[in-house]
Structure 1
């Protein structure tokens, strides 16, 4: 469960805390000791990110990041059991950390749906996706040799860390399959956090009405509700910019609304009341396309 390879990124020192990728270096299990971060020209700070295999010490941080995958619907899943499955998969998946930090800032892994079909945590997620897939567009994918692709990171983590993690995951899956382990997947299923901005006509700002509209959009056979004004076009935006690129490789997909929303008096509801509603998009990817996806991400995210 040691160090995999290292990549150096640049973190902007302005108030927004934006990041941009810098040059990377690699190591095969060796150890490095730099002086940590250093100030570069132009008001930038060099930050060293390192790639590790998932380890038990990462349990709580990974569970917190997984909760973001399904927002308030995460209450329907045994996330602790799901993290245990991830940690049991020796040599599959990566985490990203900074020198001296115990908690990961990002991770990528894949959990086989067929291999773990008897595990309650996997059954809950598969059942949830089947219910949300009103058009059954992913029935064959969910029934097939498929893995759940989990890719999460903290808010300010730059998307440039995703391509190397995906590349390593692809290599690990291939190596494990060559050794006869059950990681020769045909499909990968990725649930992408999104936000839908829907201008609402006056007097239609209730939470129940907004949920009904979202469910009606996900199910074309449902009874039609009140007609929307022509100007009320929904605008979808990915929470992770790399997911918009990954979508180019999807062989099928569907959108769905979250089942529940624990409304609290915070900044999130300031936006929600204005028409910004959390939603999700489920993508089915061919595992064989991982190298192409990585190449496309690297080209698109190049600083």
Structure 2
């Protein structure tokens, strides 16, 4: 039984092709690699091969109306969730298999996004394919768990390298305070799933956290939300910030996460260009301008979630 349903037009093959240049993100398509680099005369190609090529291009860019549904997380979702976790953590030393297991075991909070109806004559669509998911992991309650400690180490290490020493000290203090638990907010999805999906996802997550708090479950006790967002920026480009200073402009792959950034009390960026490979990111570009992939870490007080939800409703309501 689904929790909610959203209908939207998008690319079912999950490969953005030429439109990836306009979206600033991709699922492994390198714009340079997609161009035909062969020196052979196209007239020498077999007619059937040309037809197949044209059909393939047509499939890549096909747009269809698909109904997406939210479901409670189940054991069948392991592979899909792990794949999306790898999309976030790339080559970082984080056990995504263990994390996916924890997410599945945590029955009281979390949602996966799936296609509502898969055509009976479809050969390549999996009815259990995970298009996205959202959950909250209480890092404080799970202290000592391998993947949790790896995430904390990853974040603190990058904070030390990319933020002021005072920021690192503040983050270490908050993460280490057992009286004010920190939750890792994970919201991942395929790149071309529409941002409107975020509104029912976050709404349902907050409802689950309220219920979890009533029954004294870990995920309902979080005082802070820690997020790692996929971002990118144009090399060398800076914008004029408040006070007249120049600062670098980062674009969020999940557009709604910019509202979390606005409410964060700690935030910093770190590059993942050396970790990002062709199967996950390729060479990102925006309007044919090369982009560099980053991760943006944000710490948001839980009591600021109502403000963020108001922004989501204002900008994402259908």
1:141 deviates by: 2.9
- Tell whether 2:170 aligns with 1:108: no
1:163 matches 2:199: yes
Q: Using the alignment, how far apart are the partners of 2:279 and 2:196 within structure 1?
A: 33
Distance 2:223 2:215 in 1: 17
Mapped contact 1:138–1:253 kept (Cα < 8 A): no
Give the match for residue 21 of structure 1.
none
Residue 178 of structure 1: which of 214, 218, 227 is its match?
A: 214
1:4–1:141 CA distance, 2 compared to 1 (3 A): farther
User: Residue 257 of structure 1 aligns with which residue?
Assistant: 271
Cα RMSD of the aligned pairs, angstroms, is 3.1
Distance, in Å, in 2 between the alignment partners of 1:270 and 1:284 is 26
Q: Work out which of the residue numbers 291, 297, 307 in structure 2 matches 1:292.
A: 307
Counterpart residue number, 1:142: 175
1:239 aligns with 2:253: yes
Give the one of 62, 66, 76 matched to 2:85.
Answer: 66
* Mapped contact 2:273–2:293 kept (Cα < 8 A): no
Q: Does 1:78 align with 2:115?
A: no
Name the CA distance, whole Å, in 1 between partners of 2:247 and 2:216.
Answer: 50
Cα distance in 2, alignment partners of residues 266 and 8 from structure 1: 26
In 1, Cα distance between the equivalents of 2:138 and 2:280? 37
Out of 7, 17, 41, which is 1:9 matched to?
A: 7
Q: Which residue of 2 aligns with 1:121?
A: 147
- Contact map agreement 2:195 2:316 (CA 8 A) in 1: yes
Normalising by structure 2, we get a TM-score of 0.68
Higher relative contact order (Cα pairs below 8 Å, separated by 6+ residues): 2
Between the two proteins, the alignment pairs up a number of residues equal to: 243
Give yes or no for contact 1:116–1:122 (8 Å, CA) kept in 2. Answer: yes
The 4+ residue runs of structure 1 with deviation greater than 6 A are none
Unaligned runs of 5+ in 1: 19-43, 201-231
* Residues 5, 51 of structure 1: 8 Å contact kept: yes
* Cα distance in structure 2, aligned partners of 1:52 and 1:108: 11
Shift of 1:191: 0.4
Matched, 1:95 2:112: yes
Shift of 1:68: 1.3
CA deviation after TM superposition for structure 1 residue 163, in Å: 1.4
